[in-house]
Amino acid sequence: MSAVKNVIKDNYNMMLLKDFLRVAIKDAGFSHAEISKTPIGTRVALHVTRPGIVIGRKGSGIRDLTDKLATDFGLKNPQISVVEIDKPELSPSVMCNRMASHLERGTAFRRATMWTLKQIMENGAMGVQITISGKLRGDRSAFEKHSMGILPRAGHHAEVIVDEDIAHVKTAMGLIGIRIRIARNEKYVPEFEFKTQKPKKGKQIKDTGTGKMRDETEVERKARTESEQIALEEEKMKELETLEEEEAKLL
């Protein structure tokens, strides 16, 4: 087999493996996998938001996943390691999966898009662009593009500081594609200068954990799985005002 065919085959197998992991460890917040071959086997590093779900009770999850990778994907002696992601909101793969889950649960696509933009920018992104396409409103396909912050579109800077990922979701209207591009703030170009704003103080409420009065934005319920995270976000998402709601007020 020629070198070109080998590259195509490896890339195709990586795509199948990524699609499998995206579904198999969905609740763990799968971002991406790094695969490298060693003299004794194949090293697989899984980058997730919740490592405990992948590991499982007494390592049962790791063992089942290792057997699956060896039998179904032909990896030689796979050795799996789990790496926790510090900021899931700055991972395009994680945010694509979360936004796809919102659309599956029936959330309006613009509300889900605005919420995702807000979450990414509030967690320190330099810029973000979300493109959503498919049957968004009716039988005819359409696409919308929403951006915030500074996002290099081309050139060396775009390759260095911008990460992107694509996800697809099946809805009642049809197939919808989601593409998220995120520019990492810690890799920004020195020519750019950012002006910081003082955070606004919110309403003081009682923290049930410590019993002390704290700012409302600081007291948040922590989710144990990605499914719980999606449910929590849906509750907060109801407070957002979409363009349709703003237009209705003006009429």
Number of domains composing the chain: 2
- Please report which confidence band the pLDDT of residue 158 belongs to, taking 50, 70 and 90 as the band edges: confident
pLDDT at 203 over 60: no
Q: Which of 36, 61, 84 is the last residue in one of the domains? A: 84
- State how far the Cα of 68 lies from the Cα of 85, in Å rounded to an integer: 24
**Domain of residue 13, residue span:** 3-84
Note the pLDDT tens digit of each residue in 51-73: 888 888 888 888 888 888 888 88
pLDDT at 36 over 80: yes
The answer to whether residues 77 and 115 belong to one domain is no
Beta bridge partner(s), residue 134: 142, 176
The answer to whether residues 231 and 111 belong to one domain is yes
Q: Which of 34, 62, 84 is the last residue in one of the domains? A: 84
Over the Cα atoms of the chain, what is R_g?
21
Question: What percentage of the chain has pLDDT greater than the value 90?
Answer: 17
Beta bridge partner(s), residue 63: none
